[in-house]
């Protein structure tokens, strides 16, 4: 009965989605494209901005060229650089205070998915100042235009610059949950591969697999449109073609540009078609143990896809073709070969097969939270109960 209720909910959501205010960010891409940002700010009359980033990017000097031009053009910037890998409510509230104290007029998110997600929730708090973050959890709890928002990704993975989703952590409750609202879509996205050059190999690997997970889960779900399916397939093809090269040679700018595009396409795809159990399971791991999201996705992905069995056979077979794989003609064999190819890709990127630190006693609660996130919202090929989800944590537990 619960499974039937989930499917009815998903069908209603898919129908309703056609009437929602979908939009995409204005896309600026190419070498040094981020340096076009100050001109856009000047054109819009924005003179005071908050830049949300993290300490590592500041230390590496990646922001310096942009900050110099902002100063030249008379744009006052306030820097919040305390964002952590799984951004917390405390991060958001600290950045929000800086925004208000410095009378900022817009937000620039500069960094990986963590910085962009943190900045999105700051924008949400500005739009809904009386609503605490915990009350924004879930679907369409903002429904109000935010301040001007500019996203500059420095990793090719989360696709947060192209989504209506932000994921936030609450360390006090070991919780990590999504906030989903059209108001969270950035106004502009800048894909500048120069910002990802020489990214550490483990970041290139896990963020790349994160993008692949987005594309795969979006494609195999039951809420695809023609456009989201095309974007997901394009992302899968680009990742299989370019991620190995980006991993092997940190200075290879063309592969890194293609990975940024893949991440962006995957983001556009899953923001409408949703993700699935891999993400729900990974979010609980992040909430309990601060497990890097891309790593959790990469390790969990093949286990969940295998468990879907024949329910995901056709779309996985189609992704076999999209990935440029050859040799199989039978649909069932293509699906299995695609999963095997993802496992092979993951191993070639030095991603482990298991996740350290998972405690037996935490598994039931993590599975319960994963089920609550996924059911009924995520239009997965096959619906699992919380009890059934426990097996995936056991499968990846070191």
Q: Domain ranges in the chain? A: 23-196, 204-220+274-396
In angstroms, the CA 152 to CA 35 distance is 11
Residue whose pair of structure tokens reads 């989800």 in the numeric block: 389
Q: Which CATH class is domain 23-196?
A: alpha beta
Strand order in the sheet with 175-180: 138-139, 175-180, 165-170
According to DSSP, the β-strands at 106-111 and 149-153 are parallel
Tens-place pLDDT, residues 171-224: 888 889 899 999 999 999 999 999 999 889 999 999 999 999 999 999 999 999
Tens-place pLDDT, residues 306-318: 999 999 999 999 9
* Res 347: pLDDT: 97
* Res 260: pLDDT: 98
Residue whose pair of structure tokens reads 């426990």 in the numeric block: 390
pTM comes to: 0.96
The separation between CA 207 and the C-alpha centre of its own chain, rounded to angstroms, equals 9
Tens-place pLDDT, residues 112-164: 999 999 999 999 999 999 999 999 999 999 999 999 999 999 999 999 999 99
CATH assignment of 204-220+274-396, among 3.40.50.300, 1.10.10.60, 3.30.200.20, 1.20.1090.10: 1.20.1090.10
Model confidence at 261, pLDDT cuts 50, 70, 90, reads very high
Beta strands in the chain (DSSP E): 26-29, 48-52, 76-80, 106-111, 138-139, 149-153, 165-170, 175-180, 188-191
């Amino acid at each position: 009965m619960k499974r039937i209720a989930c499917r009815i909910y998903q069908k209603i959501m898919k129908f309703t989605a056609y009437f929602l205010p979908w939009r995409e960010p204005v896309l600026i891409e190419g070498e040094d494209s981020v340096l076009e940002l100050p001109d856009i700010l000047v054109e819009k009359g924005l003179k005071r901005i908050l830049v949300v980033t993290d300490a590592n990017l500041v230390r590496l000097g990646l922001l310096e060229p942009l900050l110099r031009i902002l100063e030249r053009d008379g744009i006052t910037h306030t820097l919040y650089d305390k964002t952590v890998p799984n951004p917390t409510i405390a991060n958001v509230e600290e950045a929000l205070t800086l925004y208000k104290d410095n009378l900022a007029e817009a937000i620039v998110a500069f960094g990986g998915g963590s910085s962009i997600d943190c900045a999105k929730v700051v924008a949400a708090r500005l739009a809904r100042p009386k609503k605490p973050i915990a009350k924004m959890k879930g679907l369409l709890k903002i429904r109000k235009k935010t301040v001007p928002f500019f996203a500059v990704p420095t990793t090719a993975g989360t696709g947060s610059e192209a989504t209506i989703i932000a994921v936030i952590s609450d360390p006090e409750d070991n919780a990590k949950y999504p906030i989903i609202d059209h108001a969270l879509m950035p106004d502009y996205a800048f894909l500048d591969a120069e910002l990802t050059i020489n990214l550490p190999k483990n970041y290139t690997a896990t963020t790349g697999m994160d993008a692949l997970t987005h594309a795969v889960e979006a494609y195999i779900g039951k809420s695809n449109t023609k456009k989201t399916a095309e974007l997901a397939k394009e992302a899968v093809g680009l990742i299989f073609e370019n991620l190995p090269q980006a991993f092997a040679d940190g200075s290879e700018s063309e592969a890194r540009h293609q990975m940024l595009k893949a991440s962006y396409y995957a983001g556009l795809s899953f923001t409408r078609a949703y993700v699935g159990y891999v993400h729900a399971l990974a979010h609980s791991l992040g909430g309990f143990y601060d497990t890097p999201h891309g790593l959790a996705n990469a390790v969990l992905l093949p286990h969940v896809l295998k468990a879907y069995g024949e329910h995901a056979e056709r779309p996985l077979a189609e992704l076999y073709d999209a990935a440029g794989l050859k040799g199989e003609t039978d649909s069932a064999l293509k699906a299995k070969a695609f999963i095997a190819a993802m496992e092979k890709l993951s191993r070639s990127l030095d991603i482990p097969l298991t996740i350290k630190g998972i405690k037996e006693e935490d598994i039931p609660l993590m599975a319960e939270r994963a089920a609550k996130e996924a059911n009924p919202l995520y239009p997965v090929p096959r619906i699992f109960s919380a009890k059934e989800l426990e097996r995936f944590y056991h499968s990846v537990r070191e």
